[in-house]
Amino acid sequence: MKSKTIGIMTTGGDCSGLNTAIHRLVRGAMIRGWRVIGIQDGTDGLCTTPPRIIKFDWDTLPTECARMAGSFLHNGHPGALNFETAATSGRLAHFNRRLKKSLRDLGLDALVLIGGNGSISLAWCNRDIYQDVQLICIPKTIDMDIPLTCRTIGFDTAVQQLTTFCDQLMLTARSHHRWFVVQTMGRDCGQLALHAGVAIGATAILIPEIKFDVNELVSHINKSHQDYGIILVSEGISLRGHSGRPADMISRKLTASGIINRTAYPEHTQRVGDTTANDRILATRMADCALNAIENNETYVMTAINDCECKTVSLSDFFDAGYVSADPNIPDVMTSDAFVAPDDSLLQIARNLGIYIGTEK
């Protein structure tokens, strides 16, 4: 087997499971006799002279550390040079040239990019940068908004973190006969709120994909068989005529209707926590799939899980399968997104359990 040099880079927001994926990639590559380079701080690490890298050996990332959240390679820093900051500062052409030169200077045969839907969309839209290397993408995000894969690294741990947070709130809610409005992450996708809401038995789950009526929500709470509980609100929802954080908007409406409540914000605790076994297994499967793709000389592909099978899909298919919209921060770049589908079985399960999920179409 021909020796290869592969690079690993984590981009976008952090999440649990990144270190597991890095560890498994390094282990599998070194067993194959390949050289492994880690690129620090995402694309910013490729834009310095020389590029900021870590040369992996068997002891660089210990097995017991692979379960930890965050990224051993970091995901960027304030002021980091990436596609967005390069565009806003008028340096996009220079940035693109610099990335291509650094990849060539490092002598990489392949680059494994572990990123979210924005990072993977950017990789496809700027694919000429990677024409001299095999580009293999691994999907990670707590939002689970990536087309063509039914699971993303970090999602399961985020659901567990959010569930644990709400479990504790439920105890104080019961003690004081009080409702809690909890705002979740997820951007414009409601998967995180939906899954955690079903897990905790929430009274209501409000997500961007489903229209809701505040008066219906108030009526649902008043007709419930409890005088306490949790309303999960995804950060991407909007309320016509109101501004501010979504949980605050809903809380004010409940207060005006005489429903005693408090707001709670788990914030970045959703991104951390020891990686769950499911996420570790997923990261391992996707790392193995990525290494096999490198062996098979594939490029411009993404690892994906569907019907319990892990295989690669082309970045072209990934991009075309989603809801494509203009990136608000980078001119002439489009992003491909996935959302909670109207026929998602979990929506109907939530309704069957008496959870207010919005207006049924």
Catalytic residue among 143, 156, 279, 337: 143
Q: What is the pTM of this model?
A: 0.96
Query: What is the full per-residue pLDDT of the chain (361 aa) written as tens digits?
Result: 679 999 999 999 999 999 999 999 999 999 999 999 999 999 999 999 999 999 999 999 999 999 999 999 999 888 899 999 999 999 999 999 999 999 999 999 999 999 999 999 999 999 999 999 999 999 999 999 999 999 999 999 999 999 999 999 999 999 999 999 999 999 999 999 999 999 999 999 999 999 999 999 999 999 998 999 999 999 999 988 888 999 999 999 999 999 999 999 999 999 999 999 999 999 999 999 999 999 999 999 999 999 999 999 999 999 999 999 998 888 888 999 999 999 999 999 999 999 999 986 5
pLDDT at 2: 78
pLDDT at 285: 98
> Can you give the residue ranges of every domain in the chain?
5-153+275-321, 157-271+342-352
Can you tell me the distance from the alpha carbon of 179 to that of 226, in angstroms, rounded to the nearest whole number? Answer: 10
Active site residue 143: yes
pLDDT at 327: 86
CATH fold of 157-271+342-352: Rossmann fold (3.40.50)
Q: How far is CA 331 from the centre of its chain?
A: 23
CATH class of the structural domain 5-153+275-321: alpha beta
pLDDT at 289: 98
pLDDT at 328: 81
* Identical fold between 5-153+275-321 and 157-271+342-352: yes
